[in-house]
Amino acid sequence: MPHILSTNQFSKNDVEKILIRARELEASLAGGSLKKELEGKIIACIFFEPSTRTRLSFETAAIRLGANIISAEDALGNSSAYKGETIQDTARTISSYADAIVIRHPIEHTVEVAASVTDTPIINAGDGAHQHPSQGLLDLYTIQKEHGRLDHLQIAFVGDVLHSRTLRSLIPLLALYEGNTFHFISPKSLGISDEYKKELTEKNITFSESENMENALPSADAIYMMRVQKERFKTQEEYDAVKDAYILKPEHLVLVKKEAIIMHPLPRVNEIDVAVDTDSRASYFRQAQNGLYVRMALLLYVFNLI
Ligand code: NCD
């Protein structure tokens, strides 16, 4: 059965199937006709890094589909990792209890290491600044739902471009569709790495870089605000120097297209003024809700039920 480690693993066909299934699941949940397709299964959620939405929506998704949950939050301090157990041993052990394992870890590629020692499907719920595939897919689902299409879109990513795993997961998905262009708005020190720039260029992905948010707003179809990832900085001073770099405020909204959407993977610190929340283009809470439908679809995907 498949692991879900990175959005780079998906073909356009896979993505379309997941989006269609998520839409069906959303409709059946609303209509009270959702089938308990995962009855009898046990899903483990092991989080070595803080989370609200990702863990609770995976757990809700599993429960809605009839599965049971075993869970370790704060697993760095509360699981045997604290005693020095390797991720391989943890993964091997949990695979003998659970039918699928959702893992979040602060170190890039650790979830891949876990997946390398077991056939039990593993879902990457975020590994350092690397990947967060379920978030990328729920972002894609949101864009499709709100815009009615996934092609010929201008996407402005604003904030901590350097450390964002959600950006790294959304771009390969949008790149499966024609005519999408990405604009990275960040302070110089938080811009995309040379390595990632090279990767995008090799894949013929069109992008631009700038430090100015106001200039990027008028042409954007989606404005994707991102938290400055405090936990990835070495010192408090380095974080303090950039933490308030961009704040989207009500006065900016006149620059934003009527049909554009404002996204944020959440949690928000202060990148979006709360006064923006009542604007109909603010889609971040709808985005978080969509996570439930997409995560239900992803659980079905790892059991080959899509
Ligand atoms: C994001 C993450 O964990 O990468 N949050 C989420 O999963 N919704 C973004 C963030 O923490 O800033």
Assess whether the C-beta atom of 227 lies below 6 angstroms from ligand 1: yes
pTM, 2 dp: 0.97
Angle at 229 between CA 190 and CA 162, to 5 degrees: 30
pLDDT < 50 regions, the chain: none
- 3-state class (DSSP) for residue 211: coil
Greatest extent of the chain over all pairs of C-alpha atoms, in Å:
55
- Altogether, the residues listed in the chain come to a count of 306
Asked if residue 168 has its Cβ within 6 Å of ligand 1, the reply is: no
pLDDT at 84: 87
Distance between CA 159 and CA 288 in Å, rounded?
A: 19
Say what percent of the chain tops pLDDT 70: 100
pLDDT reported for residue 79: 82
As a whole number of angstroms, the distance between CA 256 and CA 221 comes to 8
Look-up: residue for tokens 């993964």?
91
Do residues 88 and 113 lie in contact, with contact meaning Cβ atoms separated by under 8 Å?
yes
pLDDT tens profile 158-174: 999 999 999 999 999 99
Interacting residues of 240 by C-beta distance below 8 A, sequence separation 6+? none
- Hey, which residues are catalytic here? 53-54, 83, 104, 132
> C-alpha distances in angstroms, 133 versus 10, 27, 205, 238?
10, 23, 19, 28
Helix (H), strand (E) counts: the chain: 11, 9
pLDDT at residue number 42: 98
Report pLDDT for 81. 83
Tell me what pLDDT residue 55 has.
97
pLDDT at 40: 98
In this predicted structure, what is the pLDDT of residue 225?
A: 98
134 C-beta closer than 6 A to ligand 1: no
Question: Does ligand 1 have an atom closer than 6 angstroms to the CB of 132?
Answer: yes
User: pLDDT tens digits, residue range 174-200?
Assistant: 999 999 999 999 999 999 999 999 999
Of 108, 132, 286, best ligand 1 pocket probe by most atoms within 8 Å of the beta carbon: 132
Cα 102 from Cα 100, distance rounded (Å): 7
Pocket test for ligand 1, best of 48, 134, 232, 266 (most atoms within 8 A of CB): 266
pLDDT of residue 82: 82
Q: What is the rounded distance in angstroms from the CA atom of residue 53 to the CA atom of residue 41?
A: 22
What's at 49, amino acid-wise?
E
Per-residue model confidence (pLDDT) at position 80: 85
